[in-house]
Copies of this chain bind each other. A is one copy, B any other.
C-alpha cells in the first residue's frame, strides 16, 4: 500500500503527447479538430488535483485563453475521458461531476474525510488483484471501478466531540 502524492504538473512534452492521443481518438471517431477543444484539454490536463466543471470554466474564462461555453465543456469532457486523458473521480460526493488527470498518472483510489473533505490518494495493488478475482469469478471483463473509502480523519476525530 502506498500513499500517492500529487504528481507534478504535466510538462510541455507530456501535454503534447496527451494532445496527440486526443487527436488519435478524434480521428478514430471521425470527428474534426478544434482549437476550443484543445484549449479545454490543455487547461484540464494542466490542473493539479481534482476539479469540477465549474472550476475549469472559471479557469478558462479567467486565463483569457478561450471563453468556452459550459455546454461545450460538457460536450468535450466525456471525450477526454474516452481518450484516457481524464477520469471521473470523487463520485461519492454527489453534487456535480469531478475530474482529474489520468494521462501519465498512476492509478489510485481515494480516502475521504466526510467531515473536512480532506482527500488522501492511495494505491494498493493487493486490492486491485482481488477486484480482478471478483470480476473473473463472475465472468466479467473488468473495465474500471469506483472505490472510495469514507471516514473521519485524525484531525477531525481529535477536534470533534460530537458523534
Please report A residues at the B interface, Cβ cutoff 8 Å. 1, 3, 91-92, 94, 111, 113-114, 120, 122, 124, 126-127, 130-131, 133-135, 137-154, 157
Contacts and interface: CB of A to CB of B under 8 A. Distances in A.
A18 to B, nearest CB: 22
* CB-CB nearest 10 A-B residue pairs: A139-B154, A140-B151, A142-B151, A144-B150, A92-B146, A146-B148, A141-B152, A145-B149, A143-B151, A120-B138
A157 B141 contact: yes
Contacts of A131: 127, 149
Give chain A's interface secondary structure class: mixed
Contact of A124 (B134, B139, B150, B152): B134
A140 B127 contact: no
A126 B144 CA distance: 20
B124 A140 contact: no
A147 B113 CA distance: 16
A149 B131 CA distance: 7
Contacts of A126: 130
